């Protein structure tokens, strides 16, 4: 029994380490993708000097950030100032624990995975708020409050849009939801409105264009990150891209069948081969959605802050409630 416990702890440690390590190439790949894809859509070539075809541009950016001077403002509170990037980054990294990469490749297959996911991802708001507050700079503080307002507002339709799917599948575990989708077809068909609300809210939740009010590159100073430099800023930056990856992964798991192939999953494929097959499909679908997010960024202008809030409270929240209501009635009436 003790051995079993030790084995579990060891497996958990290994999985978390792997996930933490995974965040680094993930962020690099998405940043590189953003550089190249947006450049292409702007009819530019984009970075093409570092490595073959410029493929190490984002990596070299990462190392550059690592080598930069790390400054802390005089009046800032050093302990919270240094804690904030860690909180934001860990919120993203910890929520990766429940992402179902493939059958058997989930770091922790909780039966309340969805609740855990939204609870932990929501912690990044605290990190941003702390970052803004600890910087001792009114622009940082306002930026932090702005981001908190945005993320708290969008967390509500984001979470509510899932509830329909959860009611339908009757489970809060990611692997069970995917199993349900294998039997009944992807939730995309069952919950199209939920999908739309989830996608819009998730863009706002991870501060992607057209909802990147937190750090509106071309208009504002960097919001709560204003006073940060070097790798502390790098952590915020990383966390943003990791969060994009996670959100795309969750979207895929909940609405697009997760690790399932578009055609029936070959049952004879079990064990390690099945895991690899699942990982392939999961990453393919996830990166398609990452690409769509980048594509959106190349296309859409930023919304105004009042439009942003109005959208969350006046459109998405009522729509999510109606969706939930209709789904609940349908479940009862048709006994799904």
Partner 1 sequence: MAFPGLGIAKGMATTFRNFFAPKVTRQYPEQRPEIPDRWRGRLDLIYDPFGEHKCEVCFQCAQVCPVEAIDMSGFDSQGNRIRYGMPEIYDERKDPNAYRRAGLAARPMRNAARWDEEIDTPFVDETVDSFGGRPEALVAIFRAVENRYGYLPERALRRISDRMTIHWAQVFGAAGLGGFRLLPTTGHTITVCDCASCRFTGGDRLLRDIEDELGIRAGESTADGRFTLETRSDIGSGSLSPALRIDTLVYGPLDTDGALHLISERRAAATAHGTAS
Q: Please give the Cα distance from 86 to 239 (Å, whole number).
A: 9
Residue 145 or residue 298: which is nearer to partner 1 going by CB? Answer: 298
Q: Please give the Cα distance from 94 to 98 (Å, whole number).
A: 8
For the CB of residue 301, give the shortest distance to partner 1 in the complex, in Å: 9
Residue 226 or residue 323: which is nearer to partner 1 going by CB? Answer: 323
Residue 134 or residue 200: which is nearer to partner 1 going by CB? Answer: 200
Nearest CA-CA partner of 120 in 37, 239, 234:
239
Residue 163 or residue 292: which is nearer to partner 1 going by CB? Answer: 292
- Residue numbers at the binding site for partner 1 (CB under 8 A): 37, 40-45, 48, 295-296, 298-300
List C-alpha distances in Å: 268 to 239, 262, 292: 38, 17, 33
For the CB of residue 38, give the shortest distance to partner 1 in the complex, in Å: 9
Residue 68 or residue 302: which is nearer to partner 1 going by CB? Answer: 302
Q: Please give the Cα distance from 58 to 243 (Å, whole number).
A: 17
Contact 297, 208 (CB under 8 A): yes
CA dihedral for 308, 312, 314, 315, sign (positive or negative): positive
For the CB of residue 208, give the shortest distance to partner 1 in the complex, in Å: 14
Query: What sections of the chain are H helices per DSSP?
Result: 2-41, 57-67, 78-95, 113-121, 123-134, 138-169, 174-184, 187-190, 192-205, 230-255, 271-299, 305-310, 317-334
DSSP state of 226: T
For the CB of residue 40, give the shortest distance to partner 1 in the complex, in Å: 5
For the CB of residue 222, give the shortest distance to partner 1 in the complex, in Å: 25
Residue 40 or residue 111: which is nearer to partner 1 going by CB? Answer: 40
For the CB of residue 256, give the shortest distance to partner 1 in the complex, in Å: 19
């Amino acid at each position: 029994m003790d051995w079993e416990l030790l084995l579990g702890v060891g497996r958990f440690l290994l999985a978390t380490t792997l996930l933490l390590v995974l965040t680094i190439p993930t962020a690099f790949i998405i940043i590189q993708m953003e550089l190249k894809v947006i450049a292409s859509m702007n009819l530019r070539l984009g970075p093409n000097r570092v490595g073959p075809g410029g493929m190490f541009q984002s990596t070299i950016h990462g190392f550059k950030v690592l080598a930069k001077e790390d400054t802390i403002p005089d009046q800032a509170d050093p302990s919270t100032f240094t804690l904030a990037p860690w909180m934001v980054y860990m919120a993203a990294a910890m929520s990766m624990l429940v992402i179902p990469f493939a059958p058997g490749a989930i770091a922790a297959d909780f039966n309340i995975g969805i609740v855990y996911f939204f609870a932990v991802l929501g912690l990044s708001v605290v990190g941003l708020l702390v970052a803004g507050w600890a910087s001792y700079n009114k622009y940082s503080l306002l930026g932090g409050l702005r981001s908190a307002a945005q993320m708290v507002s969008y967390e509500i339709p984001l979470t509510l849009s899932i509830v329909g799917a959860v009611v339908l599948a009757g489970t809060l575990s990611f692997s069970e939801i995917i199993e349900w989708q294998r039997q009944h077809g992807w939730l995309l068909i069952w919950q199209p409105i939920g999908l739309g609300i989830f996608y819009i809210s998730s863009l706002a939740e991870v501060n992607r264009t057209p909802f990147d009010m937190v750090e509106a590159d071309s208009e504002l100073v960097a919001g709560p990150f204003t006073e940060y430099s070097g790798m502390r800023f790098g952590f915020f930056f990383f966390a943003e891209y990791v969060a994009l990856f996670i959100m795309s992964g969750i979207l895929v798991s909940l609405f697009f069948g997760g690790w399932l192939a578009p055609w029936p999953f070959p049952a004879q494929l079990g064990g390690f081969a099945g895991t690899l097959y699942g990982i392939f499909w999961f990453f393919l679908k996830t990166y398609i959605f990452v690409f769509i997010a980048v594509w959106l960024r190349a296309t859409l202008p930023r919304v105004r802050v009042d439009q942003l809030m109005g959208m969350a409270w006046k459109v998405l929240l009522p729509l999510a409630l109606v969706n939930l209501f209709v789904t609940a009635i349908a479940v009862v009436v048709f006994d799904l």
